């Protein structure tokens, strides 16, 4: 039935939650892990940089550091096994790890293309492959995929990055259809511009730029409210959601008008 009810269950108390954040060493993932720890959740932190993970965990009794390279399926499975040995269950997995490099059609670099596909897309599948059997067996818990508004439609400068994020939006929708009836929540997280090491390379002015701690709050509150599509800041993302509906002629004209490209 179509109604205004939340698409996922609400979360009232984070102290009951065992959360795995993959991509927790810097930026949005690091701030989300810190916020969840502050709210009393148990948090497992993964990324390649072990020293950074330990610094973010800060000796917190509720934190577990599980270093891994998300492109290496065996490492992800090994981390999942360590997590389950420690906690016995998983309540939420946030697939945050991603790489961004500016690219236009006259400068295709296949090393960067392959790296972007490996981390942003295959990395997410490695994470899903590791956790979905557990979530399905539990008939509870959830998985959040960090995509981007850059996945809504084609944009300039995002030749490698944009297609991976478009694929993640499609993937999250497909997952919701399969998983929600089986008790597993799915969250599609589409940030606008967030100030992190990834965006500091941009040499253009980023509209409606927000801090990583603000992004973390949006993510955690959106999940707690049971939203499927968590996008922010709304003053930017609502415009892009509208632009998604435009016919091509109007859309290409608007992008040229706004970016000059």
Which positions from 138 to 157 touch ligand NAP by CB under 6 A, shown as an x/- string?
Answer: --------x-x---------
Window contacting ligand NAP (CB under 6 A); options: 47-55, 173-181, 223-231, 247-255: 47-55
Residues 196-255 that bind ligand NAP (CB under 6 A): 196-199
For the bound state, the minimum distance from the C-beta of residue 139 to ligand NAP, rounded and expressed in Å, comes to: 28
Residues 77-106 that bind ligand NAP (CB under 6 A): 96-100
For the bound state, the minimum distance from the C-beta of residue 7 to ligand NAP, rounded and expressed in Å, comes to: 21
Question: Which residues have CB under 8 Å from 169's CB, separation 6+?
Answer: 147, 151, 152, 188, 190
Beta carbons of 11 and 187 less than 8 angstroms apart = no
Looking at the Cβ atoms of 99 and 167, the one nearer to ligand NAP is 99
Question: Which residues have CB under 8 Å from 116's CB, separation 6+?
Answer: 99, 100, 101, 160, 161, 164
Distance of CA 108 to the CA centre of its chain: 25
Does residue 26 belong to the site contacting ligand NAP (CB under 6 A)? Answer: yes
Judged by CB under 6 A, how many residues of this single chain contact ligand NAP? Answer: 29
Number of H helices, E strands in the chain: 9, 9
- Find the distance separating the first CA and the last CA of the chain, reported in whole Å: 43
Does residue 166 belong to the site contacting ligand NAP (CB under 6 A)? Answer: no
Interface ranges with ligand NAP (CB under 6 A): 23-29, 47-49, 52, 69-71, 96-100, 119, 146, 148, 191, 193-194, 196-199
């Amino acid at each position: 039935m179509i109604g205004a009810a939340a698409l996922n269950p609400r979360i009232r108390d984070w102290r009951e939650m065992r959360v795995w954040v993959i991509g927790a060493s810097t930026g949005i993932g690091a701030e989300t892990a810190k916020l969840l720890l502050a709210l009393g959740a148990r948090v497992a932190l993964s990324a390649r940089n072990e020293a950074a993970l330990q610094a973010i965990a800060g000796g917190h009794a509720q934190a577990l550091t599980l270093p891994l390279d998300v492109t290496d399926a065996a490492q992800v499975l090994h981390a999942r096994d360590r997590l389950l040995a420690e906690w016995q269950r998983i309540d939420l997995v946030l697939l945050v790890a991603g790489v961004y490099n500016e690219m236009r059609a006259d400068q295709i670099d296949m090393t960067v293309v392959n790296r972007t596909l490996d981390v942003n897309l295959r990395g997410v599948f490695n994470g899903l492959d590791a956790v979905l059997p557990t979530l399905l067996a539990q008939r509870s818990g959830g998985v959040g995929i960090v995509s981007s508004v850059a996945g809504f439609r084609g944009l300039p400068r995002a030749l490698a990055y944009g297609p991976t994020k478009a694929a993640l939006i499609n993937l999250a929708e497909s997952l919701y259809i399969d998983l929600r009836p089986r008790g597993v929540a799915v969250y599609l997280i589409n940030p606008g511009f967030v100030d992190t090491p990834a965006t500091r390379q941009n040499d253009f002015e980023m509209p409606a730029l927000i801090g990583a701690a603000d992004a973390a709050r949006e993510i955690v509150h959106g999940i707690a409210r049971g939203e499927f599509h968590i996008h922010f800041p709304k003053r930017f993302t609502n415009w892009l959601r509208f632009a998604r509906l435009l016919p091509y002629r109007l859309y290409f004209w608007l992008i040229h008008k706004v970016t000059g490209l």
